[in-house]
Amino acid sequence: MKPSSPATGHPRRSPDGARSGFPRGGPPPPDNAPRFLLIQTAFLGDVVLATALIEKLRAFYPQARIDFLLRKGNEGLLAAHPHLGEVLVWDKQRGKYRDLGRLVGDLRRRRYSHVINLQRFASTGWLTAFSGAREKIGFSKNPFSFLFTRRVPHRIAEGVHEVRRNLDLIDFLTDDAFVGPKLYPSPADFERVRPYQTRPYVCIAPTSVWFTKQFPRSQWVGLINQIPLEYQIYLLGSPPDAGAGEEIGRDAGLKNTERVHNLAGALSLLASAALMRGAVLNYVNDSAPLHLASAVDAPTCAVYCSTVPAFGFGPLAAFSRIVEIQSPLACRPCGLHGRAACPLGHFKCAHEIATGQLTRVLAEAIRAKPDGATN
């Protein structure tokens, strides 16, 4: 049942409308307050998009405890999150199923009132089903959904964002209003990137796990050579992306030596988000950095190669632009998640994107952010 105010029957918010919550180490919630667990153990971008549920649950249940279960390696995203109690970690690389057994016992001891599973895979479905929670909520496509107390259709339809699909899971607890994802870089994260913010700058996150989601390196170099020389350029990514960053920086040539900086692997996830927030523009693929930008409302130019925004993973920042091939291709999209190689070998969905399409977005972003302000 949705919490209601005695006078209006509308969902109750905190008295001043703020999304207040207990920081970790703060006072415990009252004994009768809901105890929520959100489960999203997939990839980095999936965790970012799931943060919309944290925001909404906190708005409707100011005194609730909200915990989050994710895969090992993604916990840095939610460090010191002001609306979370604990971040639980599932180590999928070492003894995945042994750790799953440990987790289910841990969840049962925590006596959650609501376990909300954002995934459609059997392992987290099993964890949800046997969590001991009063309400076990998840998508009807999950193989263990027959053991859930509430099953929700997973809607794949044009115009339905993944965040909206996830919010469907808690509409019965809140309302059907859209709330975007949100991350909370700390003061230390902002201080970490301050030395890079002495001049106006552009960020580029050039890589992706999937080859067909990744704008070609040579075309990133072409873009860099068209960005006005007064702008610093920061290449972002995880440690495995450092080699790609070095290659792009080298190929950009001598005229860019002093202004192209490879920060792949040098910044934490939240520090990267803090840097993106102050950029004049962030160029990203259809991958996790796109969602980082959305979660800190950073100006975004999202480049789509083999995938399409209609899948529901588009940018959500106030300044968001999408760049993709201008002529239709019969083979596009060739898959929901991208592929290791172009099935037809030509990769036209990327190669036929013109550099001018990207530079026009930068010109628009410069007009929207005068003087290259960094916040």
Residue with the larger pLDDT of the pair 93 and 316? 316
DSSP letter string, 190-206: HHHHGGGGSS-EEEEE-
- Please compute the mean of the pLDDT values over residues 322-347 and round it to a whole number: 94
For the domain that residue 82 is a member of, what is the CATH number? 3.40.50.2000
Residues 74 and 135 in one domain: yes
Residues 336 and 195 occupy one common structural domain: yes
Domain identity same for 355 and 209: yes
- Residue 307, pLDDT > 50, answer yes
pLDDT at 356 over 50: yes
Residue 373 pLDDT grade (very low, low, confident, very high; cuts 50, 70, 90): low
Structural domain including 319 reads: 187-372
pLDDT tens digit sequence for 149-165: 999 999 888 889 999 99
Among candidate residues 138, 170, 202, the one where a domain is terminated: 170
**Residue 2 domain flag:** no
pLDDT of residue 3: 44
DSSP string, 198-245: SS-EEEEE---SSGGGSPPHHHHHHHHTTS-TTSEEEE---GGGHHHH
* Structural domain includes residue 116: yes
Among 137, 170, 203, the domain boundary falls at: 170
| Residue 336 confidence (pLDDT) | 82
Element containing residue 89 per DSSP (H, E): strand 87-90
272 and 365: one domain? yes
pLDDT at 370: 61
pTM of the model: 0.89
Q: What is the rounded average pLDDT of the residues 221-231?
A: 96
* Model pLDDT, residue 159: 83
Strand partners, 285: 303
Tokens of 170: 């808690």
Q: Is residue 179 part of a domain?
A: no
Same domain, 242 and 136: no
**Model pLDDT, residue 369:** 76
Residue 203 lies in a domain: yes
Same domain, 203 and 352: yes
Q: What is the mean pLDDT of the chain?
A: 90
Instruction: Check whether residue 165 and residue 192 sit in a common domain.
Output: no
Confidence at residue 133, expressed as pLDDT on a 0 to 100 scale: 97
Q: Mean of the pLDDT values across residues 313-338?
A: 95
- For 120-136, what is the mean pLDDT? 96
Judge if 112 and 242 occupy the same domain: no
Asked if residue 368 is part of any domain, the answer here is: yes
Q: How far is CA 113 from the centre of its chain?
A: 26
In a domain, 15, yes or no: no
Q: Is position 340 within any domain?
A: yes
Give the chain's radius of gyration (CA, Å).
Answer: 22
For residue 254, the model assigns a pLDDT of: 79
Q: What is the pLDDT of residues 14-59, one digit of tens each?
A: 322 333 333 344 556 666 899 999 999 999 999 999 999 999 999 9
Number of domains in the chain: 2
pLDDT at 375: 56
On whether both 229 and 367 belong to a single domain, the answer is yes
**Residues 336, 207 within the same domain:** yes
Element (H, E) at 361: helix 355-368
What are the angstrom distances between the C-alpha of 365 and each of 247, 265, 299? Answer: 27, 27, 7
Same domain, 122 and 151: yes
Contact present, 120 and 101 (Cβ < 8 Å): no
- 24 part of a folded domain: no
pLDDT in tens, 251-273: 998 788 899 999 999 999 999 99
pLDDT at 259: 94
Q: Are residues 150 and 282 in the same domain?
A: no
Question: pLDDT by residue (tens digit) across 182-201?
Answer: 999 999 999 999 999 999 99
Residue 7 has pLDDT above 70, yes or no: no
